Structure 1
């Protein structure tokens, strides 16, 4: 195992832990790992602006390793769907509306963001 992989995994776990702690302290209704990703983004941006990319490379190395096995992360979600199939069947309409609505909202936001970033003179 390359030493950069261990450093990168440490960065990912520490940022997730920081996100969990921040959510618990502030009682924000956002999952801890999402806040942890924001913390990681901010840490990588600060390091990039200071010209130190060695830790960023380690985090990218660790993330690439996790992405190669991303399909394994869907197993718990699939088991959860099967376990709650009765409840999903009972509330099928709200679930379908929520899934379709969030998909559509995400698509619109990504399209709008892409359009804004592709404008001449935008900083990207």
Structure 2
């Protein structure tokens, strides 16, 4: 379990370091997850090394949403005053994300088919 936590926190720390050195406007936790994904894909880290802690975190993910839920309740008056801009921007951004995801998937699918393999 210590090794699993060390791997996860190591990827997070590496993401923090890269953000600090480069100033890239990206959350370090996202970069850390991308680094972990890359290391798993390149088989530098084996899935068995992080599977137990990952399964535990996913099984208890609801617990991690309690603080944001409390924060939303604290700012309910602001949310109520800006309800429609929040709803409209959420709907528009969701449609954009779906469209871009579909577009990237189509481009990737065409590239794989041209290459002649299924990766």
TM-score for both structures, normalised by structure 2: 0.78
What residue is the counterpart of 1:20 in the other structure? 16
Answer 1 or 2: higher relative contact order, Cα 8 Å, separation at least 6.
1
For the residues of structure 2 that align with 1:43 and 1:110, how far apart are their CA atoms? 23
Deviation (angstroms), 1:18: 1.4
- What are the equivalent positions in structure 2 for 1:63-74 lying under 5 Å apart? 63-74=54-65
What residue is the counterpart of 1:32 in the other structure? 28
Which ranges of structure 2 fall in alignment gaps of 5 or more residues? none
For the residues of structure 2 that align with 1:113 and 1:85, how far apart are their CA atoms? 37
CA RMSD of aligned residues (A): 2.2
Aligned residues: 115
